[in-house]
Amino acid sequence: MAVYKKSAEMRKSIVETMALLVRKNGYEKTNIRDISEYLNIPRSLIYYYFKNKDDIMHVLYYERFSMTEQLAEKVLPRGEEPLVRLMLKYLLYRRNIICDPLFAEYIATAPEYASRGKDYSKDQIALYYGDSKDAFEHFGKPTDGNEFYIHALMVESIARGLIVGSFYGMIELSDREYMTYFGERAIMPTFDLTKEQFAAIVDRSFELAEGAKV
């Protein structure tokens, strides 16, 4: 059995090759064998660094998500205008992740949180729903019970429906249409907002997004 010593360079090469091949062939058609052949390394070496191709893809996804966090922070620090910040992050998420061919198929075909088990779901929600937590705390809502988890699962479900519909060509939405359809169903009911209040939040998020470009 081969014995390897991990290196940051090899890990980076595997991740970068995954991105290159996904852009060329799509996520479903890219596999570990493709990466090993492209880099001319044994598959066992790739498995030494990553469990599977989803594990590799999540590195790319988290890097891009972190970038959206930094872009949002540049124009609206976390804790300020929590609902605006929440919608700003969703707008940046759409522009920089959902609409990027590198991630569109990966997101559209990934299993839903709940289907992966309670522990996994809670870990992912803790990782990616910090702005939702801030908004809940701002409105005096608990973040450790059903209401918060229902919110997170509802956000995922509604966003996924719009993403899948767009990916397979069933619907075509502009950024503002997407934000409106998504927000009126996933955000307005949670925080008891009127359409006028929500529209003002969306307008503010678009205004801030102009200063949060890559």
Backbone angles phi, psi at 168, to 5 degrees: -90, 10
State residue 3's pLDDT score.
52
Residue 2 has pLDDT above 60, yes or no: no
- CATH number at 8-49: 1.10.10.60
Three-state DSSP state, 117: coil
Residue 63 has pLDDT above 60, yes or no: yes
Class of residue 77 by CB neighbours under 10 A (exposed 0-12, middle 13-18, buried 19+):
exposed
Closest CA to 136 of 58, 206, 192: 192
State residue 1's pLDDT score.
47
Residues 213 and 92 sit within 8 Å (Cβ to Cβ): no
State residue 106's pLDDT score.
95
Residues 127, 19: Cα–Cα separation, whole Å: 22
State residue 41's pLDDT score.
95
Per residue in 160-181, pLDDT (tens digit) is 999 999 999 999 999 999 999 9
Residue 200 has pLDDT above 50, yes or no: yes
Q: What angle do CA 69, 58, 43 make, to 5 degrees?
A: 150
Structure tokens at 184: 């009126």
Residues 153, 121: Cα–Cα separation, whole Å: 9
**Cα R_g (the chain), whole angstroms:** 19
* Host H or E run for residue 162: helix 146-167
The average confidence (pLDDT) of the chain is 94
Per residue in 88-138, pLDDT (tens digit) is 999 999 999 999 999 999 999 988 888 888 888 889 899 999 999 999 999
Residues 78, 76: Cα–Cα separation, whole Å: 6
Upper half-sphere CA count for residue 84 (Cβ side, 13 Å)? 19
Percent of the chain with pLDDT over 70: 98
Give residues with Cβ within 8 angstroms of 138, minimum separation 6: 82, 83
